[in-house]
Amino acid sequence: MELPDVRKNFTLTTTGSYFGLSLSDPLLLALHDDQSLNTFLDSGNCQLLGAHMIADEGRVIFNTKIDSSLKKDKLLVFFKVKPDVITGDNLADIFVSSMIDSPISSLYHSLQKLYAPILLKVMTA
């Protein structure tokens, strides 16, 4: 099922894919009017949207702040480079990152596997 709001469609589809849910899953459909999702998309002041699944309850939670107690949970983070309201035209300005284990571990592996090789090539070119 395609949602009419391309911004929500992108966010919910990406979230569903990460957590193994289809877009027509009631868990995702329930998030269509989530306050944190709307704040992230509609406010230039909100730079971050985190998504995590509460396995015991079988539901996905959106939050505009990262909860440091989620150290061992899978976490999906959407963030803006610029403080803009998200539209269909600037949707590609949203960065998406996953965190597994801890933020420190995720940062380390991103630097080691992605950014360090790229930076080394740029510096030696």
The residue range of the domain holding 108 is 6-124
Is the pLDDT confidence value at 14 over 90?
yes
pLDDT at position 3: 54
Question: pTM (2 decimals)?
Answer: 0.83
Is the pLDDT confidence value at 102 over 70?
no
In a domain, 54, yes or no: yes
Q: How many domains does the chain have?
A: 1
Summarised one tens digit per residue, pLDDT across range 39-92 is 999 999 999 999 998 877 778 999 999 876 655 578 899 999 899 999 999 999
Other CB atoms within a 10 A radius of the CB of residue 87 amount to 12
Rounded to whole angstroms, the Cα distance separating 87 from 125 reads 37
Is the pLDDT confidence value at 32 over 60?
yes
Sheet holding 94-99, edge to edge: 59-63, 48-54, 75-80, 94-99
pLDDT at position 118: 83
In a domain, 46, yes or no: yes
In a domain, 62, yes or no: yes
Rounded to whole angstroms, the Cα distance separating 52 from 15 reads 9
In a domain, 1, yes or no: no
Q: What mean pLDDT value characterizes the chain?
A: 86
